[in-house]
Amino acid sequence: MAYLFTSESVSEGHPDKVADQISDALIDNFLAFDAESKVACETLVTTGQVILAGEVKSDTYLDVQTIARDVIKKIGYTKSEYMFEANSCGVLSAIHEQSADINQGVDRASKEEQGAGDQGMMFGYATNETENYMPLALDIAHALLIELANIRRENSEITYLRPDAKSQVTLEYSDDNKPQRIDAIVISTQHDDFADEATMLAKIKSDLISILIPRIKAKYPQYAHFFNDNITYHINPTGKFVIGGPHGDTGLTGRKIIVDTYGGKGAHGGGAFSGKDPSKVDRSAAYATRHIAKNLVAAGLCDEVLVQVSYAIGVAKPTSINVNTYGTSKVNMTDGEVSKIVEGIFDMRPYFIEQRLKLRNPIYSETAAYGHMGRKSETVTKTFKLPNGESKTVTVELFTWEKLDFVDQVKAAFGI
């Protein structure tokens, strides 16, 4: 029997994502000037206020106020009527030094034996239902909001958009787990005030269906055939959405972990990513398991896979590695046997994850909105500045965990 599956996304102007982007901007600035920085930074945003808290061990000093304001400005909170504005909001820092008790479990005389920054389990997932090996519903949900933000910045076809927005996509699947069509789309977007609410709702719905959806179909032709005349659209279903962003809801780092990963497909260990340096396996091992999963599917080992790894705090070697191919494996092996071979291909000790994926670079700001997985791996140049005027320009590779650089090794190991 056919079934429905739904995933959601949130925009860069969503309050939780504002918090994530500030936390990851701090990470990038610390790593740019001290690659060995240990950072766990949380951000809270609310009406007119940004509060920074967390633990840091670093040889550099940052102007955290300027960094936070620059992020807020880039997102688009630049008008006083938003009640949260880059130049006027208060920024309070309660960042302090990292606990020596925690640090002793991470740092080792031999870097190769660097311990995990915490206990816990992390998951990586991949499926061949999209070109980037991501779940289709989540990929479309992200695409809708990325394009909506593009329209907002262009300020030509639609001129009333504000930064906060959410999307949700429901897909119909066939009995053999193949996506057939989009059944429903939900979009809630913050907007300028209108004199007449009924006119406002009608215009927003008409604009999004007639302007946003055609742009999505044109920009993502591989998804165009999933759109149809029977989609149920819920556009701003609560009605007026003028009060939004941190003024409408308090935002916190790490509250959108399913949006950040696989939209409800696969599994999640519960740990957030943003604001954490790569010694925290919540982040680095989640990236590493995605890297494994994507390369396994791309190599043709299976159609869908979930990879789990777990750690004990202060211990380098994982306590377990598990591979679940959901019965889609193309090799004559049990999933347990597959797991053993995978363990031999990918060294999952924290230091080796950091080295393999080049994680001690300032590469995290780009991850903090529209998902950490399924993104394009590319090389970019960034410039960072210290309060004393010193600047540093670095060239870094983004989303290294999305590279298909282990496909040949996987094929050789499994005789594919």
Q: What class is the 3-10+135-244 domain? A: alpha beta
- Helices within 88-226 (DSSP H only): 100-106, 136-154, 197-207, 213-219
Tell whether residue 298 is among the known ligand binding residues: no
Does residue 49 have a known ligand-binding role?
no
> Is residue 55 annotated as involved in ligand binding?
yes
Is 276 among the annotated ligand-binding positions?
yes
Q: Which two tokens stand for residue 64?
A: 């955290």
Contacts of 371 (CB under 8 A, 6+ apart): 9, 134, 138, 142, 259, 260, 261
Of 3.30.450.40, 3.30.300.10, 3.30.365.10, 3.30.70.1060, the CATH number of 120-128+280-414 is 3.30.300.10
Is position 98 annotated in a ligand binding site?
yes
The radius of gyration of the chain from alpha carbons, rounded to an integer in Å, stands at 22
- Is 241 annotated to bind a ligand? Reply is yes
Task: State yes or no: 42 annotated in a binding site.
Answer: yes
pLDDT tens per residue, the chain (416 residues)? 699 999 999 999 999 999 999 999 999 999 999 999 999 999 999 999 999 999 999 999 999 999 999 999 999 999 999 999 999 999 999 999 866 655 555 665 567 678 888 899 999 999 999 999 999 999 999 999 999 999 999 999 999 999 999 999 999 999 999 999 999 999 999 999 998 988 999 999 999 999 999 999 999 999 999 999 999 999 999 999 999 999 999 999 999 999 999 999 999 999 999 999 999 999 999 999 999 999 999 999 999 999 999 999 999 999 999 999 999 999 999 999 999 999 999 999 999 999 999 999 999 999 999 999 999 999 999 999 999 989 999 999 999 999 999 999 999 999 99
The reply to whether 16 sits in an annotated binding site is yes
d(CA 169, CA 186): 7
What are the distances in angstroms from CA 108 to CA 34, 103, 310, 316, 374? 18, 9, 20, 10, 33
* Strands lying side by side in the sheet with 3-10: 3-10, 161-173, 179-191, 232-235
Structure tokens of 85?
């504005």
Tokens of 96: 């302090």
User: Is 180 marked as a binding-site residue?
Assistant: no
The annotation status of 247 as a binding-site residue, yes or no, is no
Cα–chain-centroid distance for residue 185? 21
Is 293 marked as a binding-site residue?
no
403 belongs to an annotated ligand binding site: no
Q: Where in the chain is the domain with CATH 3.30.300.10?
A: 3-10+135-244, 120-128+280-414
| Sheet with 251-252, side-by-side order of all strands | 90-97, 49-57, 38-46, 251-252
- Rounded-to-integer distance, Cα 196 and Cα 187, Å: 20
